Structure 1
Amino acid sequence: MAFILRGPSLVQVWLFDISADRNMKKALWALLCAVTFLSEAWADKVNGVDAPASDHPTLQDAQDALASGNYAKAFNGYHNAAVQDKNALAQFSVGLFYQNGWGREIDPITACRWFEKSAQGGIPVAQHLAGVCFDEGIHHVKDPAAAAYWFRKAAQAGHHYSYCHLANLLMTGRGFPKDPVKALELCHPVAQQGSPPAQLWMGKFYLRGDPAIRNKQEAYRWFAAAAQKQTPEAFYYLGLIMQSDSSANQAPSEIRQMFEQAAALKYVPGYFQAGKHFYDAEPDPGTGQLSAEHLAKAYLWLSAAIQQSQNPEEISVAKSMVQQILAVMPETWLAELDQKIAQHLQ
C-alpha cells in the first residue's frame, strides 16, 4: 500500500475536536436530564404521597448536591431515603448512581437490585430497567417471563418504549412462541411517534428479525429516521446496509461518512469500520496514492478501535493496518494524533 502526504499540518482532521466538544455537552446534558427528572419526580411523589421536595430537606439537599456534582452528598441523601423510608424514587436514584458510576465504580448488579426494588414501588422507568436486568441476566439468571412482566408494567404505566423490548422477546421467541407480526405491532406505534430507540428496534427487526418480515428497505427507512436525531448506532447500521447493497451502487465516500459519524458519536463498533474504510479509501486521482487526510483518519479510528473494541479478530486486523500506516506516516504527526484519540476517548 502506498501513501502520499498532502499538506504540512493536521488541521484537516477536525472531527475529533468537534466530537470531543459534543460528547462533553452530551455528558453534561445527561446529568442535567437526570437532575431535572429526579427534581420533578420528587416534587410529585416523596415518601409515597404528593408533596413538594422542599418539605424534605434531606432530599432537597440531595437534589442540589447532584446538580452541583457533589456525588457523595447526593448519594447519602438518596440512599438514606431508599433504605430508611423505602422510597421508590430514592431507590431508583441510587440505582442510577451505580449504573452511571457517579462518584463510585460502575456496578450493574447493584444497580439492577435497586431498580428492581424501585420497580416494585411503581416507578415506570425502574420497571423498564428491571425488565432489562432480567432479560440480560444481570442480577439474576436470565428470566424472559420476569422481563416481559416488567416491560409490560412499564409500558402500561406510560413508558411506551418498553413495548419494543417486549416485542423483541416475541421476535426472538425467548420465553414465548415466536410472533414477528405481533412484535411489529407492539413497537411500530412508538417508533412512529419519533422515539429513536424504538426506531432502532424497528430497523433491526426488519434487517435481522424473523425471515418472514425481513425487508432491507424498511430497515433503512427506520435507521435513517433515527439517524436524523443523531443516534450513533443508526449511522452504523446505515453504513452496513449501504455496504452490503451492491445493487444500489453506493459511493465509498458515503459509506465512509456513515461509519465515521457513528465513530464520532462514540459508537465503538463504528471505530473499526471507519478506520478500515479510510485505510481502503480510493487513491488521490492525481497521485494514485492515499491522501494525507485519509491516512490520518485511518490511524485515528483504527487506534480507537484497538483501545475500545471487544472483538479480538477486529483488534488484530486493526493493529496490522496501523503498523503499515506507521511505516509511512511522519513521526511528527503522532503526538497530535494520539492526543486527539485520548481526548475523544476520555
Structure 2
Amino acid sequence: MKTKLIIFALIATLTGCVNQAQAQNQSCQELYDTSPQSAIVICQNELAQNSNNVKLQFYLAVAYDLEENYTQAIEWYTKSANQGYAEAQYNLGVMYYNGHGIKQDYQKAFEWHSKSASQGFAQAQNNLGLMYVYGQSVKQDYTKAFEWFTKSAGQGFANAQFALGVMYEKGYGVRQDYIKAFEWYSKSASQGFAEAQNNLGLMYVYGQSVKQDYTKAFEWFTKSAGQGFANAQFALGVMYEKGYGVRQDYIKAFEWYSKSASQGFAEAQNNLGLMYVYGQSVKQDYTKAFEWFTKSAGQGFANAQFALGVMYEKGYGVRQDYQKAFEWYTKSANQGYGIAQFALGVMYHNGQGVKQDLDTAKLWFAKTCENGYDLAC
C-alpha cells in the first residue's frame, strides 16, 4: 500500500453550454468557466472597453485554456500575471510546469508560483512545496517544502493538508509525529481528498497514533476507493480477502483487486494472479495467473517476480523453463525477498537454469536466514 504525493493539476470544470441568446445577456465573468467558447467573444468585447483589467484578462485566458488554445491562454495569463494577479501567476506557473502550449520549464514554473504564493495564494504555496519535495528547479529541501505546505494547509487547502500528513508521517522536514499526521490526514479526508482517506485507513490498520481498528480502516478505504483511488481499491481487496473489518468475501476481493489492477497497481495485479492460482472466487487458471504476475513483475514487484519464477520452474501456465525461472528468482532475490533467495539457492545447489555452484548456493541460503526465513538455516 503505497503513499504518494499529489501532482500539479489545473482544475477546471465544464458544466455545460448556454445558448447564444443566454450568452448575450451574461458577462465574461459569468461565462468564462461554464461556456468558454461564448465567453471568449464576450471577454474580448469587455476588454476592448477596459484593456488593462486583470480579471478580464484572466477570465479570457481561462476560457482559451478550457478550449485548449494554449497559445492564447498563455498570452492572456501573462498579461494578467505581469500586473500582479495571483491566480493568473499560479495558472501560468502550471502551464510552464506541464508544458501546455509552451516548452516545459520548471524554473519559470517556480518563479511564477513564487510570485503567486507570496500573495498568499494557497494552490501556489502547495505547488512550491511540491517542487521543493521533488527538487524541481531547486535543490530538494523538505524543510522549505514543509513551510510552504503549512502555509497552504492553514488556508484549508486539502492537497496541502494531505502533504503535511505525509511529512509528519515520514518525518520529512519535521520530526516524525503520527498524531499530527493523523490530524492533517483527517482535515484533508473530511474534504473528500481520496489519498488522505486512504492514508487514514492505513493508520487504523497499523494502529499509528490510534487504536488498531479494521472497521474504521474499512470505512475510510471504502470512501477513497469509491473515488477510484487504486491504492484504496487494493486495500479493500485485502480487507475482503482476509476478512479484516468486514466479512470475508473472495468475490468482492476479486472485484476490488480487478479495479485496482486495471489502473496498473502492481500489488493488486499480483494478488489477482494469486487468486487465479488458488481458484479463489474464480476457476483456477494458471494462464491468467501468469498474465497478471507478468504485469506486476514488469513493474518490479518482488512478490510477483518470485511468483513468475515458480510458474516457469513448475511449468504452470507456461512452458517449463529453468533459465527463466532463475532470471525471475534473481530479480526478486536482489530486492531482498527471502523466499526468492532460498529458491535461488536451491537452483544453484541443483544446477537448474545455472551451472551448479554450491558456494553461491550457501551465500543465498545465508541471506535467506538473515531475512528471518528458517528454510535454509
The TM-score with structure 1 as length reference comes to 0.63
SS of equivalent to 2:192? coil
Q: Distance in 2 between matches of 1:116 and 1:210?
A: 35
Q: Distance in 1 between matches of 2:247 and 2:317?
A: 42
Paired residue for 2:305?
272
C-alpha deviation, 1:235, in angstroms: 0.4
State whether residues 230 and 263 of structure 2, in contact with CA within 8 Å, keep that contact through their aligned partners in structure 1.
Answer: yes
SS of equivalent to 2:193? coil
Q: Distance in 2 between matches of 1:50 and 1:213?
A: 56
C-alpha deviation, 1:103, in angstroms: 4.6
* TM alignment of 1:216-235, pairs within 5 A: 216-235=250-269
Q: Whose radius of gyration is greater, 1 or 2? A: 2
Of the three residues 122, 126, 130, the one matched with 2:164 is 130
Paired residue for 2:320?
290
AA matched with 2:320? L
**Mean Cα displacement is larger for which, 98-107 or 140-149?**
98-107
- Tell me the number of residue pairs that the alignment of Structure 1 and Structure 2 aligns: 280
SS of equivalent to 1:280? helix
- 1:168-213, Cα deviation, whole Å (9 max, x unpaired): 3333333223333233233324424543232122123334574775
Paired residue for 2:96?
65
The TM-score with structure 2 as length reference comes to 0.58
- 1:321-343, Cα deviation, whole Å (9 max, x unpaired): 69954549xxxxxxxxxxxxxxx
Report whether the alignment pairs 1:253 with 2:287: yes
SS of equivalent to 2:167? helix
Paired residue for 1:151?
185
Paired residue for 2:86?
none
Greater percentage in helix: 1
AA matched with 1:56? A
Of the three residues 159, 163, 179, the one matched with 2:197 is 163
Q: Distance in 2 between matches of 1:141 and 1:261?
A: 38
Q: 5+ unaligned residues in a row in structure 1: which ranges?
A: 1-32, 329-346
| Percent sequence identity over aligned pairs | 24
Report whether the alignment pairs 1:196 with 2:196: no
State whether residues 167 and 186 of structure 1, in contact with CA within 8 Å, keep that contact through their aligned partners in structure 2.
Answer: yes
Report whether the alignment pairs 1:181 with 2:206: no
Q: Distance in 1 between matches of 2:317 and 2:95?
A: 56
* RMSD between superposed Cα atoms in Å: 4.2
C-alpha deviation, 1:261, in angstroms: 1.0
C-alpha deviation, 1:223, in angstroms: 1.0
State whether residues 135 and 142 of structure 1, in contact with CA within 8 Å, keep that contact through their aligned partners in structure 2.
Answer: yes
Q: Distance in 1 between matches of 2:56 and 2:199?
A: 31
- 1:203-247, Cα deviation, whole Å (9 max, x unpaired): 233345747755544333311222233333210222344456689
C-alpha deviation, 1:282, in angstroms: 1.0
- 1:128-170, Cα deviation, whole Å (9 max, x unpaired): 2222332333333443332222222212323244333223333
Q: 5+ unaligned residues in a row in structure 2: which ranges?
A: 1-5, 14-31, 34-54, 59-76, 83-88, 357-377
